[in-house]
Structure 1
């Protein structure tokens, strides 16, 4: 902005598209499946060959910390949500996976962080008043025949909630963050193309609304050109192309390289007994209905209010691809932590030397098979966390619980906890499906 317990290993993936669709078409018979590349894979433009396993684990946890600080600021402030959520990843917990695509006419290669918590496709653009370092050339819209700035009063400008107008009628955006990150530039349209692997042709998307940032700061040095937002907002990739089904499946590193996001007909929405309601909430985020948590079959005494949204729309449980580890509000986390410690009382916990996880174990007898099962009780769906999705090795090789306490009264169901599971979003029926499967 990886071992049977670390998703942040080298997951190398290529882009696969199953059909060609025009932007305006929203037929359920159409769609595409795009494979994702883990940011730490050798095929990723962000790959650092000098990074050790410890560095990768620390980086992933710090991204989670930054992400929760971002959500806490938005949840607790009186700021207009849309003006803060153009990108939850710029300086706010950089995501783990990227999508590669082409932009402009003629086409230029680029990529962005895959982020269900962001509401726009944006990138750094020339001319740069201020740009941070990235691993590929910065996009120059002056060289694209299909690039067009958006005018104020247009539909494209009115569907983005974080814009302003210049005296000459051009649509602009500017977002600032408390850590010093910001992006500022033009709302525009351009042509995007998603490439396949030679199987079924390309996906050409014309007149896509993008953010073209000419003034950008990123103190954490992510080196990513931008973000591909997949929230439910009209300005995201999902919102603009209009398809009503989305799914993704992220494997652990010992279960193959089949990670992908599927939009439209290829999306996999699993059977009814694996489904839970998708709630409406702020910023087009994916909210879940969580009723409680159990440890080794014993339901914890956590008030339902810990997981529910307030009448003002604050709190709740968000499913977020940009947050690595699950975050639980303080009252709920305390109960989970104590129940796990009690279940493992024969082992002596140790403090995490990296100061990133709540507690760890280094006893030679400690095995994943000895750990208690943590069950999330979503409405109409009980989802057990696999042991390999609950524990992670730190830089000293200790097993640490990969669930953290949230800094606010909100909860995030993180990517690490639903590895090896198909996640499906059905917008027609407001359903989230969640089922363990072979993510090939």
Structure 2
């Protein structure tokens, strides 16, 4: 059996040591057991004020030099229109969004028609509450817009003039009258018939309500989209003219779930059904990236099969068999993480959830073992839904155990210290970025995904981890 080592986040001088433990396979698997957390650097980056975004002209000039399918990926809290300059207030707001999204994914409202459904006539439910944004051009000539991206939503849409009401956005609202490529999807279209959308005055219409109470309603259209240096024509998307919510300042949403109406599904011949993202830390000095196309599949990545739930067929699930802390493989049954044939349980990869959620028995075991290994570090009160926090004020560097995810195929993904303990205010309070799930559903959040290239291959049904850092 080929054993794959994932030590993607670590530099040689940052690892205090390696060990070998049994994972239940034929051979033992080595991986880093400890990492050094640079407290001062983390706080300095987290409290810095981000630079102003580029003007439209600067962005157009930059796009000409980009890889044809590559976009900068920014966290919404790093944008000036987020209105949060204080780390504590900013993170508190993020935790409120996180709690609402996670509750929808793992709570009582978890139903197929709500989580993974296509856009339906009337007002259908979708996830929304996205955490990352990209900047793309819509129309001919392109009118540049910030769009939220979400692996839990299927439709792409932008606010369109005239709209009443419109939510505030950083850029001027997209004006269809200024685009020579704008075309309305008629009710007689096979697109409209295939996904059973509504019909208003001969136009294919849609409506979505998001879990935070935001909503948008409008008309399905086809338009030209500029991604980096690439122009894509006849993309089916929503032109939203009745809106509320979306307080990020973005002008719309780019859905990247596994449904038939996503941008990826519309151009499989051009991208091969593959997209890859690097989530830079939300307080990092540089942006992350979102890239499309099979040619960007990394050599040396560890590949894990995507699983499909009958209750949420467009959501990205992976198989998880266990967890490790430092050199300890936790005594947790694989059944705790299993996705059943009925669509219950399972582990979701989600870019819109920040904190990783685990079923209660797994979370309490993980937290207990982790706490015992850093028992000498001063504790601090809980922060929002994060119940395990530490006072690192005045400390330069602290050594902490790593946390490892054991996948069902035998691969291991080992987290760095910065993906485990995160700063929540400028006073040096760091919290354990995991929380309990009240159901059998687990979510791997974006705080744990930061810093590594993650590739979704929808055509072949795999998710790849690494090997590139970002």
1:64 equivalent in structure 2: 98
Q: Which protein shows a greater Rg?
A: 2
- What is the Cα deviation at residue 258 of structure 1? 5.6
CA contact (8 A) 1:149 1:186 kept: yes
- 1:275 matched to 2:303? The reply is yes
1:236 equivalent in structure 2: 262
- Aligned with 1:79: secondary structure? helix
CA contact (8 A) 2:155 2:237 kept: yes
| Residues in 1 aligned to 2:94 and 2:334: alpha-carbon distance in whole angstroms | 30
Deviations 1:104-129 (A, max 9, x none): 23432212012222211112222223
- 1:193 matched to 2:229? The reply is no
CA contact (8 A) 1:159 1:234 kept: no
Change (3 A) 1:19 1:221: closer
User: Alpha carbon RMSD of aligned pairs, Å?
Assistant: 3.1
1:122 equivalent in structure 2: 157
- What is the Cα deviation at residue 279 of structure 1? 1.7
**Consecutive unaligned residues in structure 2, runs of 5 or more:** 1-39
Alignment of 1:126-165 (within 5 A): 126-158=161-193, 160=195, 163-165=197-199
1:4 equivalent in structure 2: 42
Alignment of 1:152-301 (within 5 A): 152-158=187-193, 160=195, 163-166=197-200, 168-177=201-210, 179-195=212-228, 202-218=229-245, 221-242=247-268, 243=271, 244-252=273-281, 257=286, 259-271=288-300, 274-281=302-309, 282-301=312-331
Out of 382, 387, 391, which is 1:358 matched to? Answer: 387
- What is the Cα deviation at residue 385 of structure 1? 1.0
- 1:409 matched to 2:437? The reply is no
| Residues in 2 aligned to 1:431 and 1:66: alpha-carbon distance in whole angstroms | 28
- What is the Cα deviation at residue 3 of structure 1? 4.1
Q: How many residues align?
A: 410
Change (3 A) 1:409 1:159: farther
- What is the Cα deviation at residue 364 of structure 1? 6.2
- Aligned with 1:215: secondary structure? strand
CA contact (8 A) 1:294 1:375 kept: yes
Residue range with higher mean Cα deviation, 9-18 or 239-248 = 9-18
Change (3 A) 1:249 1:180: closer
- Aligned with 1:416: secondary structure? helix
- What is the Cα deviation at residue 256 of structure 1? 5.5
Change (3 A) 1:326 1:8: farther
- What is the Cα deviation at residue 253 of structure 1? 6.9
1:325 equivalent in structure 2: 355
Change (3 A) 1:170 1:323: same
1:76 equivalent in structure 2: 110
Change (3 A) 1:178 1:194: closer
| Residues in 1 aligned to 2:193 and 2:80: alpha-carbon distance in whole angstroms | 34
- 1:33 matched to 2:66? The reply is no
CA contact (8 A) 2:157 2:240 kept: yes
| Residues in 1 aligned to 2:176 and 2:113: alpha-carbon distance in whole angstroms | 31
| Residues in 1 aligned to 2:65 and 2:313: alpha-carbon distance in whole angstroms | 29
| Residues in 1 aligned to 2:46 and 2:464: alpha-carbon distance in whole angstroms | 21
CA contact (8 A) 2:42 2:423 kept: no
| Residues in 1 aligned to 2:180 and 2:72: alpha-carbon distance in whole angstroms | 28
**Consecutive unaligned residues in structure 1, runs of 5 or more:** 21-30, 196-201
- What is the Cα deviation at residue 63 of structure 1? 2.6
CA contact (8 A) 2:322 2:407 kept: yes
